Amino acid sequence: MKNQKDNGILKRKTKAFLAIPDKKPCEILRVVFLLFLQKLQQFLYGRYGGDKFSIFLLVLGLVFSLFGRLFFWPLFLLADALYIYALFRMLSRNVPARQREYAAFLKVWSPIENWFRFQKRRFAERKQYKYFKCPHCRQKLRAPRGRGKIEVTCQKCRQVFVTKT
Ligand SMILES: [Zn+2]
């Protein structure tokens, strides 16, 4: 109810404004743009918006449409379905359902992301540190390079072993 009332006031104000003949076109454009922004804001109000899952769906859609171009055209349909699903999620007003989806997605995605992050760090530090695993519990460990053979105590299981750095 409140929104409708606000819209009414807004429309009346706009009409009054546009009726004045000697306003500069750029000012009219500015008002139209502001009105557009306001409409957009009203449209997006209460909607879920973007998250990493939607980005993932869009990227997957891009991959499928590329594969569709290269190999097998029906993959385009799959890409479109992914785009539509991503758009549906962003504009959805059922925020709790979208949050549940997102939590389920993160459960699968986070380990993958962490693995890539670890590889990146390992590569960046490849000259300073040697990375290795504890032979007993598989815990990932690192030691500064250039110290020859060293005795390492695992931080997790306290196993002592020798490794080259
Ligand atoms: Zn260990």
Q: What is the pLDDT of residue 18?
A: 57
Task: Give DSSP secondary structure letters for the chain.
Answer: -HHHHHHHHHHHHHHHHHH-TT--HHHHHHHHHHHHHHHHHHHHTT-----HHHHHHHHHHHHHHHHHHHT-TTHHHHHHHHHHHHHHHHH-S-HHHHHHHHHHHHHHHHHHHHHHHHHHHHHHTTTTEEEEE-TTT--EEEEESSS-EEEEE-TTT--EEEEE-
Q: What is the pLDDT of residue 28?
A: 86
Q: 156 alpha carbon to ligand 1 midpoint, in Å?
A: 5
Q: What is the pLDDT of residue 2?
A: 47
pLDDT digit string, tens, across residues 68-79? 888 888 888 999
Q: 122 alpha carbon to ligand 1 midpoint, in Å?
A: 19
Label the pairing between strands 149-153 and 129-133. Answer: unpaired
Q: What is the pLDDT of residue 9?
A: 54
Q: 106 alpha carbon to ligand 1 midpoint, in Å?
A: 28
Q: 2 alpha carbon to ligand 1 midpoint, in Å?
A: 63
Block mean pLDDT (10 aa), the chain, length 165: 51 57 77 94 90 94 91 89 95 93 96 94 92 91 90 91 89
The pTM of the full predicted model, rounded to 2 decimals, is: 0.63
Q: 107 alpha carbon to ligand 1 midpoint, in Å?
A: 25
Q: 143 alpha carbon to ligand 1 midpoint, in Å?
A: 14
Asked whether the beta carbons of 116 and 100 are under 8 A apart, the reply is no
